Amino acid sequence: MAQIGTQLGRVVERKRAEDQLIHDAFHDPLTGLPNRALFADRLARAVARSHRHRGLVFAALFIDLDRFKLVNDSLGHLAGDTLIIQVAARLGACPREDDTLARMGGDEFTILLDSIADVNDAVRIAERLMRALEQPFLIEGEQLYVSASIGIAASSLGYESAEEILRHADLAMYRAKTLGKGRYEIYDHTMHERAVSRLALETSLRRALQKGEFVLHYQPIVTLESEEIVGVEALVRWRKSESELVYPIDFIEVAEDTGMILFLGMWVLREACTTMARWHKEFPRTPALTVSVNVSARQFAQHDFVQQVAKVLSDTGIRPETVRLEITESVTMVDSERTVAVLTQLRERGVRISIDDFGTGYSSLGYLHRFPLDILKIDRSFVSQLDRGEEGLQMVQTIMSLARNLGIEVVAEGTESPSHVAHLKSMGCDVGQGYFFSKPLESADLSALLEGGD
Ligand code: C2E
Ligand code: MG
Ligand code: MG
């Protein structure tokens, strides 16, 4: 009898261990919520059910905390975990009993709203979720404010699989982030189209890089006094086909997001230096022509950026003092100590540093002196205001006197008319770039211009 009792005890124990294993396989260890696998299963059932009963509507919500990485990075992973547990508890209070709240991993949660009247029910839940997060969280004695971006996909659009509806909720969440975070978006087909065309662009950009379809155009930079060419700015274009030229506005952002800019940017620098080294031989001048090359923040952030630039300089044999790297204010904003160090090292290699689109960033004019800069390019939005009254004049005037004090050369971008030229000259600006002098030109056309002695 005692033996039977022990055996029974073992069976019960084994059953309990099995149950535990099954539970663990389908639950998130940190929050105890259903995990991705269990959620996918319930979602798949909901999809199947809605096929059987056409009238049934359900919705998937994809929730992603905003700036969670900041919490993790600044307060540590333990604090991050505590926050996730507290967020899970608040989110858990919102849906109804039949609904499933799951943790997908990291700071991502999903909710399956099993049976709703229409998408408005899902919107009401999303609003409730956002309200639930409004009160601050208390983490390690600190008050933290957290918001979430929420994507909603409702079954009324007709879904074939759990994976598809979840992907759409995710896309809508991504859209909510893009539109400013701390909000919800409902999936619609334009989001799908946008994602598809963006993906197609990524793919064709990669191919363009392999096939060598990028070309540089060169825009003359001239003295305002005599319109003599003193340098050029290299501007990248994508020669998509014989008849189709694509401008940076349509691909630079994607190239930056995907990291392709690292390769593209270095190609631009190499190509521009190679071409300018040739022009120096063919059209010697004193002082030598300069070449300006745009550098994106992502390139600048690479740990070996200085070495990469140095290699291009030595490979192409260009005179470093003729090379001007154009960076924008956003580059200087990230980590100013590192920025100063990198700029100093670049200048030690002989290149000049130009600050591009000046005046459009967030920084005050006063921060300029902190950085070792040689050239400042006044953004064309200011130049275009020059003949529209006092305000534009004053801004350019301020920039000019600041630059003069710091011993920085000024180039006026977007000089489009004789009156721009007259205003700029009267304020002591000597050098300009813009359609009034020339549009960006193919290298052969720029050669011809230099040959003609401009
Ligand atoms: P950016 O560096 O400020 O370049 C000046 C832009 O203004 C060029 O546009 C040029 O064609 C345009 N522009 C010049 N003169 C005038 C004018 O008088 N009026 C007007 N309305 N526009 C004028 P583009 O070539 O379309 O380039 C746009 C931006 O794309 C550049 O602005 C730069 O930020 C970026 N970009 C271009 N090439 C590269 C590159 O090789 N690498 C990186 N990272 N960015 C690049
Ligand atoms: Mg530029
Ligand atoms: Mg510019």
- Residue with the nearest Cα to atom 33 of ligand 1? 294
pLDDT of residue 391: 76
Q: 261-282 and 189-211 helices cross at what angle (nearest 10)?
A: 40
CA 360–ligand 3 middle distance (angstroms): 10
Judge contact between 415 and 421, C-beta under 8 A: yes
pLDDT band at 9 (very low <50, low <70, confident <90, very high): confident
Judge contact between 341 and 305, C-beta under 8 A: no
**C-alpha span between 445 and 380 (Å, rounded):** 24
pLDDT of residue 228: 96
Amino acid of residue 289: L
State yes or no: pLDDT of 376 exceeds 90: yes
Question: Of the residues 209, 252, 328, 435, which should be mutated to test ligand 1's pocket, given the most ligand atoms within 8 Å of the CB?
Answer: 252
pLDDT of residue 12: 85
Average pLDDT over residues 250-276: 95
Q: Which residues have C-beta within 8 Å of that of residue 88, sequence separation ≥ 6?
A: 31, 33, 101, 103, 109
Burial class (CB in 10 A: 0-12, 13-18, 19+), 234: buried
pLDDT of residue 333: 66
pTM score: 0.74
**C-alpha span between 208 and 167 (Å, rounded):** 28
Write out the residues surrounding ion ligand 3, Cβ under 5 A: 356-357, 413
CA 188–ligand 3 middle distance (angstroms): 36
pLDDT digits (tens, 9 = 90+) for 321-353: 999 999 988 777 667 788 999 999 999 999 999
DSSP 452: T
Ligand 1 atom at minimum distance from 299 CA:
44
Ligand 1 site residues (CB inside 6 A) read 219, 235-236, 247-249, 252, 265, 268, 294, 296, 326, 356-357, 380, 413-416, 433-435, 440
- Residue with the nearest Cα to atom 10 of ligand 1? 440
Lowest mean pLDDT among 119-133, 279-293, 348-362: 348-362
Which residue would you say has higher pLDDT here, 208 or 364? Answer: 208
Percent composition of the chain: helix, strand, coil (DSSP 3-state, to 5): 50, 20, 25
Which residue would you say has higher pLDDT here, 38 or 74? Answer: 38
State yes or no: pLDDT of 275 exceeds 60: yes
**C-alpha span between 369 and 78 (Å, rounded):** 40
Lowest mean pLDDT among 81-90, 195-204, 328-337: 328-337
Neighbours of 103 (CB within 10 A): 25
Which residue would you say has higher pLDDT here, 412 or 56? Answer: 412
Nearest to 447 by CA among 298, 215, 278, 201: 278
Question: Of the residues 249, 386, 413, 436, which should be mutated to test ligand 1's pocket, given the most ligand atoms within 8 Å of the CB?
Answer: 413
**C-alpha span between 331 and 326 (Å, rounded):** 10
Ligand 1 atom at minimum distance from 357 CA:
3
pLDDT of residue 257: 85
